[in-house]
Structure 1
Amino acid sequence: MKSVKIKINAAVIALLLCMLSANLQAQSNSFTFSKKEGNENFKILKLDINSATTENDLASYIADAKKEKVDLSFNNVERDTKGNITSISAVYKTKDNKTETHKEESAIAINSFYFYVTTSEKSNAIEKIGFRLENKKGVEKALFVVNGQEIDNQFNLDMIDPDEIESINVLKNESATAKYGSKGRNGVIEITLK
């Protein structure tokens, strides 16, 4: 088997997560993308908040939400000595006074969560909005196959240099289990190296 350099960039990780997750939950900080349902197009803004989220990230999230006509604020942000968030309260309010608060608190580090808003591109009306805990069944639960060899649970995406990748194939649902059995139930990422 070809040796693998240790390195991968955030764009590759985000792409893999997007392809694996039906609701496009990614581990990047902020995503804006479009989705089509029937004859209607929707713009979706997703903002990820985790223990490593910085003050600058929070400020940019507030500005991103404002562009979607939503007042988003973060209160009671507490950090440990390493700068990781251990407590946070997130609140949104829409122009029609719909509001919700999400609180996370932990002695070690908060659970990752995200804020999302789905806007109709036709009417500019907010269709869906809220906070959700991050889906823990993403990439870390997927089966990785590198050059045809199944990789064990200790595999880390940081182990691959993007320049060494020839192709990536993502299998989900029935196609993953048909090829890999129960090991593929959380998705399969097949990576072919150059």
Structure 2
Amino acid sequence: MAFAPSSPRRRMITTSILLFFVATFIPYQFAYMVACIVQIATCVRALHYAQETRSGAHFNFYNYVHSILIIMLWVLPINLPVLVVWVHNLAVHWLTPFSSHHNVLSIMPLLLLVETLTTGKMIPRLNTSLRYVTNTLFCFLAIYAAVYGVTYAYLLHHLFNFSAAWLVAVHLSNSTFSLSGLSQMLEGEDEAGEPKKRP
């Protein structure tokens, strides 16, 4: 199977480590670039799996992850100059950090969305009036990009980050998240998916 999801524990640890590095050393723009690379890999896997199965549901998932990738690549040039300056500062041993570049909230929703998409799960359908929120968010993002995108381009990252937070909330609305499930996730799971028993 193309989407053999990694365990939730492993995904949580990977995301936590990346967020820790963002909070301490690397700018969130570096984490954004890593998220773009992971999203490209997810798109390739989704396309390969959809072509193998010829399933409409799998093509829908591919279209979804491909759309997210297009927006991520659209916002990437806004983040690249900061990354170039950071690499230059490392080369000249100037390690004075900019606190605004270590804001974990500027990247956490995007990282959570990318990690969620690596599992191969399609976003659930909203049957309430909340379904209009998604359309409104992305329409506002497109209108802002068209009108103010050149003048205030740096805000596009934060608008997309807010939209990603909404998509993560929609993904989580369909999951059975609980404190007992969280404790089982942290304890670990065996290969059959059963929680490991402590001796």
TM (norm. structure 2) is 0.26
Structure 1 or 2: more strand by fraction = 1
Structure 1 or 2: more helix by fraction = 2
TM (norm. structure 1) is 0.26
Of structures 1 and 2, the one with the larger relative CO (CA 8 A, separation 6+) is: 2
